[in-house]
Amino acid sequence: KDMIYKNLGNTGLKVSAFSYGGWLTVGGTVKGDPVKDLIKEALDHGVNFFDTAEIYSNGQSEIEMGRVFKELDVDRSQLVVSTKIFFGTGKSDPNQKGLSRKHIIEGTKASLKRLQLDYVDIVFAHRHDAATPMEEIVRGFNYLLDKGFAFAWGTSEWTAQQIQDAIGIADRLGLVGPCVEQPQYSIFHREKFEVEFKPLFDKYKYGTTIWSPLAGGELSGKYLNGIPENSRYKTNPEYYEQKIKELESPEGKKRQDKIRQLGEISKRLGGTGPAALALAWAASNPNVSSVILGATKPEQLKENFEALKLIPKVTDEVRKEIDDLFENAPTP
Ligand code: NDP
């Protein structure tokens, strides 16, 4: 196994540089035995961290993951499991979502039941909740830690200011602040991570578990010649309307050509294609604790783990080449 393990922020937890998540896939487009094949593939490559959320396939993602951990008889102490609370499970009751103390606690208990686990390692606030005072949010998550329902808590798609506020309030109350953010980050989506979050990394060693590292699959180059059957743009078009429309536009064509060129750089460095380099680019960023992979087939995971070999090859020169190709490096 050539997996690398990184520190998850300041928690002492070690997470695999590549992890596996279940949005749209586990319990959605993938159910039953194929989920086991995917999780087994990930474990075989040294993945120790798995990410899900109460909202993923309305709870089915947690159910499928939990079932597979049981069936594979994985040693709990070797696993780092996270779930995310905020969106509920698709129910419309106003109290079955958000970050009230009620939903933080009830939602997490329900997630644990679906996962068949006594605790998750990390519980994320899946979004910020402006309707709940920050002190209440901090106290809600600390209750989970005190009860042993989770070991650490984090944020997802919060602003740097909101994260600083939560840490400040936790400090003032002698409570535990959030220690990890789950943000979108890829070659196509850099600004917030690299600029807004920089002080969090410098000041708190804030951890990150990044999502959509392939921009939903686009950076694998799978959409270079149209939309293949069974691909995410076909199975879940509602999330990619804009991207699908853009594929036919001059802008979109230009972007696909850049992805093709990224594939050429990857091959020059010994990689299999654009996915491996896009993933190595993200994983080699010291402020990224774990790159969450999505995959519907074990072969995709296999290809994506090739990125591990490319990590040492992502030198400053290669980063510069990628900056010049995509022309979107944020100005610090
Ligand atoms: P990616 O950007 O890596 O997209 C993954 C998808 O791309 C796969 O499901 C597959 O879709 C396709 N793909 C992956 N590898 C390959 C390959 N080698 N060749 C061809 N196609 C490939 O990540 P996700 O968008 O799935 O996000 C990863 C995880 O991040 C989620 O599972 C979830 O845990 C987390 N997340 C968190 C969010 C948050 O708000 N906190 C939001 C979104 C995700 P297909 O086969 O269907 O085309």
Please report the pLDDT score of residue 1 as a whole number: 73
Distance 217 CA to ligand 1 centre (A): 6
Where residue 125 falls among pLDDT bands split at 50, 70, 90? very high
CB 17 within 8 A of CB 5: yes
- pLDDT higher than threshold 80 for residue 332: no
Does residue 231's CB lie within 6 angstroms of at least one atom of ligand 1? Answer: yes
Residue 127 CA: which ligand 1 atom is closest? 40
Please report the pLDDT score of residue 331 as a whole number: 87
Tell me the helix, strand and coil percentages in the chain, rounded to 5. Answer: 50, 15, 35
Distance 226 CA to ligand 1 centre (A): 18
Kindly state the percentage of the chain with pLDDT values over 90.
98
Residue-wise pLDDT tens digits, 293-305:
999 999 999 999 9
Residue-wise pLDDT tens digits, 34-89:
999 999 999 999 999 999 999 999 999 999 999 999 999 999 999 999 999 999 99
Site to substitute for ligand 1 among 220, 223, 239, 306, most atoms within 8 A of C-beta: 220
Q: Where are the alpha helices (DSSP H) in the chain?
A: 33-44, 60-71, 101-115, 134-146, 160-173, 191, 198-204, 232-235, 241-247, 250-268, 274-283, 298-305, 307-310, 316-326
What lies within 8 Å, CB to CB, of 318 at 6+ separation is 265, 269
Distance 83 CA to ligand 1 centre (A): 16
Mean pLDDT for 160-164 is 98
- Tell me how far apart the alpha carbons of residues 260 and 274 are, in angstroms, rounded to a whole number: 7
- pLDDT higher than threshold 80 for residue 160: yes
- Tell me how far apart the alpha carbons of residues 215 and 185 are, in angstroms, rounded to a whole number: 8
Closest-CA residue, ligand 1 atom 34, reads 21
Question: pTM higher than 0.95, yes or no?
Answer: yes
What lies within 8 Å, CB to CB, of 65 at 6+ separation is 22, 26, 27, 35, 39, 50, 52, 81, 115
Q: What is the ipTM of this complex?
A: 0.99
Where residue 284 falls among pLDDT bands split at 50, 70, 90? very high
Please report the pLDDT score of residue 92 as a whole number: 85
State the average pLDDT for the chain: 97
